[in-house]
């Protein structure tokens, strides 16, 4: 079984959600909040890795995530609220992505929380011969 990686944009901000001031000097961006929740939800799932990157270039529809694995279809998803429900759905989907030979998870297996969030899918890299 291969491992799938969830990449969360750490710099996403959702305009309609306030970043409530806390005792800390800075309130983490919504993307950072989602990353923290996805990391927690992924604990114990050995086939799922989690990482954060600054900006997946989908800034107008944050929070954004990508699910990738070597040799498999990759997916970009967006418009997530940075909460446990979103995190759980992303991890559940990534587990199925890891289990699936080509990364194409049948629709009937999609967790409810990812439906309506897909932005793009990207086929695995292949060697392209030119002339």
Build a one-symbol-per-residue string for 19-58: x at contacts with ligand FES by CB under 6 A, - elsewhere.
------------x-----------------------xxxx
> 1, 99 in Cβ contact below 8 A?
yes
15 binds ligand FES (CB under 6 A): no
12 binds ligand FES (CB under 6 A): yes
| 64 vs 119: CA distance, rounded Å | 9
> 13, 58 in Cβ contact below 8 A?
no
| 82 vs 67: CA distance, rounded Å | 17
| 4 vs 1: CA distance, rounded Å | 10
Return the residue of 11, 47, 79, 81 that touches ligand FES, per CB under 6 A: 11
| 29 vs 80: CA distance, rounded Å | 13
CB of 62 to ligand FES, least distance (A): 5
User: Which span sits near ligand FES by CB under 6 A: 44-52, 59-67, 82-90, 91-99?
Assistant: 59-67
- Bridge partner residues of 76 (DSSP): 66, 120
Nearer to ligand FES, 96 or 117 (CB): 117
Residues contributing to the site for ligand FES (CB under 6 A): 9, 11-12, 31, 55-59, 62, 64
């Amino acid at each position: 079984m291969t491992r799938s990686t969830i990449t969360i944009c750490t710099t996403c901000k959702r305009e309609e959600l306030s970043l409530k001031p806390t005792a800390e000097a800075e309130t983490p961006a919504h993307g950072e909040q989602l990353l923290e929740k996805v990391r927690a939800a992924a604990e114990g799932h050995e086939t799922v890795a989690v990482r954060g990157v600054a900006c997946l270039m989908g800034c107008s529809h944050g929070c954004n995530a990508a699910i990738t694995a070597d040799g498999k279809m990759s997916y970009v998803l967006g418009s997530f609220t940075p909460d446990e429900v979103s995190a759980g759905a992303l991890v559940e989907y990534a587990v199925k992505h890891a289990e699936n030979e080509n990364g194409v998870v049948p629709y009937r297996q999609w967790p409810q929380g990812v439906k309506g969030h897909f932005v793009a899918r990207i086929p695995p890299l292949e060697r392209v011969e030119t002339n």
